[in-house]
Amino acid sequence: MELVNGVKIPEIGLGVYKMNPGREMNEAVKNAYQCGYRLFDTAQMYRNEDALGVALKENQIPREEIFLTSKVDNCNQGYDNTIASFHETLKKLQTEYLDAFLIHWPGQQAERTLSTWKALEHLYKEGYIRSIGVSNFEICQLELLLESCEIQPMLNQIEHTPFLHDEKLNTFCKEKHIQIEAWGPLLRGKMEDERIQKISTRYEKSPAQILLRWNIQQGIVPIPKTKNLSRLQENISVFDFQIEPEDMEKLNSMNENHRTSYDPLQFDF
């Protein structure tokens, strides 16, 4: 899969939100890499960039083989703060560049968002970041960037599940060549819905595999989080089957606009 600037991005990734430093992170990263994961997603807000950096080094994972993502914390937004915090991120991750760096949250102050974006553009032009993007941005917030940016966002990482499926946002991103990534694709582990269970039984796959495959078939990169080896293996084993169109539509029709986090159109920081 390619971003609009030609940079290749894996079709699935591993999120490390709430993973603890030391053995937990080291084992998860080692097992994920051995299972075939090549995208690792962290954020300044997670407070574990340094732990991920250590895990990648200790497991001798070749830097050029992975796609490494982080995001600027809300408290670090603004031009100067973004640039300073980005270089701290590089030190913590023990790398000379990132494959993607995102604005973690839009907030409600346009000037702050735009100055933060200018910092990402600067870092991109300097060669420190291979792709730049945003997270949790809605259409009007993307339009704000597109109206004034020099370099358009290449990624938008959003919560995307059958219960939060915004077709207008998805279509907008596709039209603007903004790659969508899905955080929280496994409903935070709450996959008991009978309709999802029924579909998973039909394909002889787990509910998690159905949810991940549903994203992938829409051209969306899911970033599930787990430290469990069997689930790591299960989550990446989603490339040997196709969900039929009628079942894709059933999953799409489950939308309830149900968020498990704040509303990006209202929450500020």
Q: Read off φ and ψ for residue 156, nearest 5 degrees.
A: -140, 110
- Written as six digits, the tokens of 136 are 């949790």
Quick check: is 97 catalytic? no
Q: Which residues contact 34 (CB under 8 A, 6 or more apart)?
A: none
Active-site hit among 33, 37, 46, 128? 46
Sequence-distant (≥ 6) Cβ neighbours of residue 110 within 8 angstroms:
144
Q: DSSP letter string over 128-193?
A: SBS-EEEES--HHHHHHHHHH-SS---EEEEE-BTTB--HHHHHHHHHTTPEEEEESTTGGG----
The answer to whether residues 128 and 100 touch, using CB atoms and an 8 Å cutoff, is: no
* Catalytic residue list: 46
